[in-house]
Amino acid sequence: PDLLQPLIDGHADAVFGSRMMTRFAALEGGMPLYKYVGNKILTRIQNWLLGSSLTEFHSGYRLYSVNALKQVPFERNTNDFHFDTEIIIQLFLARLRVAELPIPTFYGDEICHVNGIKYALDVIRTTLVSRVQKLGILYDRKFEIQSAADHPANRGKFSFESPHTLALERIPAGAALADIGPAGEHLTADLAARGIRSAEIDIFPGREDDSSFPVGADSFDYILLLDVIEHLRFPERFLDSLRDSITSARPVKVIASTGNIGFIVTRLALLLGWFNYSRRGILDLTHTRLFTFTTFRKLFEQCGYRIEEIRAVPAPFPLAFGGGWFAKFAIALNKSLIRISRRLFAYQVFLVARPLPTLATLLQNARETRNQKIASRL
């Protein structure tokens, strides 16, 4: 009844009984010292990886609300002992409320069939996979859970180096910008705060019409294509269409980004026979094209664009590990490795290019110049 009360009161979605909330109570109840120490160590590691604060991950005394179970795909979990860890991770990913209450510990004469070493390795492995999945590197369907707070439109990318922050640094105040995608409400708000006029233009990747630029590009100073190109069925036709839509002498710049399929982690994964698509990241399920540094540059050059800048972007570790010291250290290490080889250690490619005038535009400008000279003589 005590454990049921938080569910009845609506204060929790799941309640766990914890043997560790009362100091040394588990040892006094007969828990072997090696299990007590192992429980503490594993719980500390999992709390660190998941950003949680449970006193115990490994008690089987649990109550779940039916509503909570409806929101997590627990049927995809393992049939092994670390099922308990997987369902906790799923509850966290769904942003459900987990409460803990102390329970007494009693050890009888029953035989435990858990292989402690294997269990510990399984627990750490599955916890790591759930965190790395947020980077879009590994993928497991059981952790394919997205709460409203995790929706891309509600997730800012401005506390660390990303294509969004790099784009903002390059767009001056007062510029006219077309945000193709669009890149999200956080970027839109930041652009407005800087006095940048932006038009959000949606395209529908995968449809027959995704190869046409939907407006005249020469009414803008900048065209933003952040993480868009890889979703198109015919990116070459799209870039041709964008360039064709520029009929004036107005200098237009295109700012684009994409994932780097040559990233060291995806290379190693492929070496091991893994090629897992996911909900986000380099191998997003909705991607139709994959690029390296070389192929992304060639795409623009062969479509008639002059590359003005191309640079490497580190992995978004804060999205997976929060804004603590570990994420900052990981980004610093990633940047150092990028200096050695950006093709190998860049998570994304960031590019600034200028569309060159098409032959039709050059001929049209020449005719207009000739007609103006003739008119001035008359």
DSSP 301-319: HHTTEEEEEEEEE---HHH
User: For position 116, what pLDDT does the model report?
Assistant: 81
Full DSSP string of 168-197? HHHS-TT-EEEEES---HHHHHHHHHTT-E
Q: What is the pLDDT of residue 79?
A: 93
pLDDT at 158 > cutoff 70: no
- Predicted confidence (pLDDT) per residue in 74-96, tens digit: 999 999 999 999 999 999 999 99
pLDDT reading at 153 higher than 70: no
Output 351 or 200, whichever has higher pLDDT. 351
Query: Which of the four pLDDT bands, split at 50, 70 and 90, describes residue 150?
Result: low
Residue 252 confidence (pLDDT)? 92
pLDDT at 61 over 90: yes
**pLDDT band for position 157 (cuts 50, 70, 90):** low
**pLDDT value at position 154?**
44
**Relative orientation angle of helices 293-302 and 235-244, to the nearest 10 degrees:** 40
Residue 210 has a pLDDT of 60
Question: Which pLDDT score is estimated for 200?
Answer: 77
Integer angstrom CA distances of residue 157 from 56, 113, 171, 377: 33, 46, 17, 57
**Mean model confidence pLDDT for the chain:** 86
Q: What is the pTM of this model?
A: 0.74
Mean pLDDT (whole number) for 370-376? 84
Q: Hey, CA dihedral for 305, 223, 153, 321, is it positive or negative?
A: positive
What is residue 290's DSSP assignment?
-
- Cα(234)–Cα(206) distance, integer angstroms: 9
Measured CA to CA, the distance from residue 50 to residue 39 in angstroms comes to 16
- C-alpha 277/C-alpha 27 separation (Å) is 45
Q: Is pLDDT at 211 greater than 80 in this prediction?
A: no
Query: Rounded mean pLDDT of 199-207?
Result: 66
Quickly state the pLDDT bin for 108 (edges 50, 70, 90): confident
pLDDT-wise least confident of 69-73, 102-106, 108-112, 327-331: 108-112
Percent of the residues in the chain that have a pLDDT greater than 70, as a whole number = 92
Task: Return the sign of the alpha-carbon dihedral for residues 263, 131, 167, 226.
Answer: positive
Most confident of 155-164, 273-282, 324-333, 343-352: 343-352
What average pLDDT score do residues 30-40 get?
A: 90
